[in-house]
Amino acid sequence: MHQIADVEVAKNIMDANKRLAHKNLHKLEDNEIFCVDFVGAIGSGKTTLVEEIIDNTDYNIGVLAGDVISKFDAERIEKHEVPVVGLNTGKECHLDAHLVGHGLEDLPLDELDMVIIENVGNLICPVDFELGSHLRIVVVSVTEGDDTVEKHPIIFQTSDVVVINKVDLADAVGADADKMVDDAKKLNPNVNVIKSSLKKGEGLDEIIKIIEEAMN
Ligand SMILES: Nc1nc2c(ncn2[C@@H]2O[C@H](COP(=O)(O)OP(=O)(O)OP(=O)(O)O)[C@@H](O)[C@H]2O)c(=O)[nH]1
Ligand SMILES: [Mg+2]
């Protein structure tokens, strides 16, 4: 009995989220804005990637920075002189379309070409919550262990691009970055997989190229 009620409530929540995600997408498209959302493990390099994209492209970018309670990421992004809204999820381990909708209200959409959404660091919770973006990029790093991809299949199956970051540390932690690439391709044969060291600037051009191809 309890189980049936739980399933019904969960379905209603997911349907409502999907509707709001479509609303966000329409709002972005009405403003001719391309939207990328970053999901991925805690500390894998999501904010670093957002900062590098801001510094190495000419797009007018606005950022929605998701965090559980802090404003650390929003404050980091702010230093790059782009509009940013910090979204706190409280006890939740993922952003949802409702929160993103409110974030969009606080960005100067008529001035932007691109909105980047950084989700809370988590490889499980964000999976089911569409936000209204055009492209989803999942960022993991070798320091989480080279079994991270195979242990969290769904997020890799539902993302468009996989970034395997911190390859500069692979030897130090005994991780095989190529195994992570193979695991991602097994789970999602059509996905783009890029190995990167954002610390050294490696892989960034490739990531930007993929975003630009998706924009056109
Ligand atoms: N060695 C190395 N360190 C990196 C690389 N990319 C990011 N880092 C470092 O990893 C740490 C975490 O990076 P963030 O960009 O804050 O990671 P994040 O995914 O945004 O973290 P959360 O938002 O807290 O989940 C920082 O100290 C970065 O400088 C890399 O390619 N190599
Ligand atoms: Mg971050």
| Nearest Cα residue to atom 14 of ligand 1 | 45
- C-alpha 84 to ligand 2 mean position (Å): 13
Q: Is the CB of 165 under 6 A from ligand 1?
A: yes
Nearest ligand to the CA atom of 51: 1
The predicted pLDDT at position 4 comes to 62
Q: Is the CB of 89 under 6 A from ligand 1?
A: no
The predicted pLDDT at position 203 comes to 98
- Determine contact, residues 155/123, Cβ cutoff 8 Å: yes
- C-alpha 104 to ligand 1 mean position (Å): 25
The predicted pLDDT at position 9 comes to 74
Distance CA 64, CA 83 (A): 9
Distance CA 10, CA 98 (A): 16
The predicted pLDDT at position 143 comes to 98
The predicted pLDDT at position 91 comes to 84
Q: What is the pTM of this model?
A: 0.94
Q: Residue 37 corresponds to which tokens in the numbers above?
A: 């959302």
- Determine contact, residues 61/111, Cβ cutoff 8 Å: no
Nearest ligand to the CA atom of 169: 1
Residue ranges for the chain with pLDDT beneath 50: none
* CATH code, 2-215: 3.40.50.300
The predicted pLDDT at position 90 comes to 86
The residue type at 2: H
The predicted pLDDT at position 2 comes to 60
The predicted pLDDT at position 6 comes to 65
Question: Helices then strands (H, E): number in the chain?
Answer: 9, 7
Alpha helices, H only, 31-130: 46-56, 72-78, 97-105
